[in-house]
């Protein structure tokens, strides 16, 4: 394992490259109505952790590709993630007023503009990915996989089940894992796979990356549930304690805090084992997995 300062340094550098690219992609000039552009930039350029785009870049690197080549795919993933956050915060969904330490998009720009900002990012993600300098077959594969991950069988389906779950009082661990494998996990898995596709990875490599993404996504969600109980709004940049207050199905509610943490640790071990095949080139992926477990925001 590299020391944690090397991981932090690498992440700082990657975040800088991702932020600069997102800034370029959302510098629309006069082509986009000013209010819509401001709403998109408010949410997209807000200080998110950029975990998913970092995963795209690190997956590409693990497969021997220059990070720069994977930057459009990384930005496409972050655009879809940001759209999902904007829509999730709307009054009809989670009804939140704080995101990434800032007022949510609809609080600042109104509901209609926030819906349009999300719609715009969802579409632009595919424009950006389709415009990347990859062989046409790789672009088609990447677009297809990203569409599937964001679609009704994965992200949107997981969100629908999560909303439906709020109406119920029952629900077990299988239900909860099924929701999060789609709502949170799909975007993690596809981030890893897009990095691999960019690098021209073979099926075995894509499979290893997918297992890593699956385990990391679930562990990330368990830690998210624990932080919702333990963290502060200042630390997390979003409201905390909401899930518990509404009696929502969460990992700590079903398993208790200690067992939830143990489960997250087991998943991180599995994630790291999956990318052992990349030897030293997978080192940052393994370090990042440990960081997800230890994160406090
Ligand atoms: C509206 C289609 C649709 C989907 C919404 C992303 C999502 C699905 C809901 C957000 C609510 C939530 C707490 C989801 C689980 C964990 C999660 C995805 C947290 C946000 O991701 P971070 O912590 O956020 O990586 P930043 O701001 O750092 O990018």
pLDDT tens per residue, range 47-70: 999 999 999 999 999 999 999 999
The CA 237 to ligand 1 mean position distance, Å, reads: 12
The CA 83 to ligand 1 mean position distance, Å, reads: 10
Is 45 a pocket residue for ligand 1 (Cβ < 6 Å)?
Answer: no
* Residue (of 210, 275, 281) closest to 66 by Cα position: 281
pLDDT at 207: 98
Residue range 141-168, pLDDT digits in tens: 999 999 999 999 999 999 999 999 887 7
Q: Which atom of ligand 1 is nearest to the CA of 237?
A: 27
* Ligand 1 pocket mutation, candidates 85, 163, 239, 288, criterion most atoms within 8 A of CB: 85
Closest residue by Cα to atom 20, ligand 1, is 85
Mean pLDDT of successive 10-residue stretches along the chain, which has 297 residues: 77 97 97 98 97 98 95 98 98 95 97 98 98 96 98 97 82 91 97 98 98 97 92 79 77 93 97 97 96 86
Is 205 a pocket residue for ligand 1 (Cβ < 6 Å)?
Answer: no
């Amino acid at each position: 394992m590299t020391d944690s300062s090397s991981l932090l340094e690498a992440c700082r550098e990657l975040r800088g490259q991702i932020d600069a690219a997102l800034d370029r992609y959302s510098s629309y000039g006069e082509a986009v109505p000013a209010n819509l552009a401001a709403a998109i930039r408010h949410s997209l350029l807000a200080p998110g952790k950029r975990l998913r785009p970092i995963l795209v870049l690190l997956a590409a690197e693990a497969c021997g590709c220059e990070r720069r080549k994977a930057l459009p795919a990384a930005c496409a993933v972050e655009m879809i993630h940001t759209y999902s956050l904007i829509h999730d915060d709307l009054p009809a969904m989670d009804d939140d007023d704080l995101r990434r330490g800032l007022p949510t998009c609809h609080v600042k720009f109104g509901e209609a503009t926030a819906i349009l900002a999300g719609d715009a990012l969802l579409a632009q993600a595919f424009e950006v990915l389709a415009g990347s300098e990859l062989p046409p077959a790789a672009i088609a594969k990447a677009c297809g996989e990203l569409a599937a991950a964001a679609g009704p069988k994965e992200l949107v389906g997981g969100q629908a089940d999560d909303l439906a779950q709020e109406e119920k009082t029952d629900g077990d661990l299988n239900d909860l894992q099924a929701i999060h494998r789609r709502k949170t996990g799909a975007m993690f898995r596809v981030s890893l796979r897009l990095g691999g596709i960019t690098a021209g990875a073979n099926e075995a490599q894509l499979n290893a990356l997918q297992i890593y993404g699956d385990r990391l996504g679930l562990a990330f969600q368990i830690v998210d549930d624990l932080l919702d109980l333990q963290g502060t709004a200042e630390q997390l940049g979003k409201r905390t304690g909401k899930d518990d207050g509404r009696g929502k199905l969460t990992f700590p509610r079903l398993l208790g805090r200690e067992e939830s943490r143990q489960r997250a640790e087991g998943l991180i071990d599995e994630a790291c084992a999956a990318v052992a095949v990349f030897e030293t080139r997978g080192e940052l992926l393994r370090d990042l997995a440990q960081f997800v477990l230890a994160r406090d925001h």
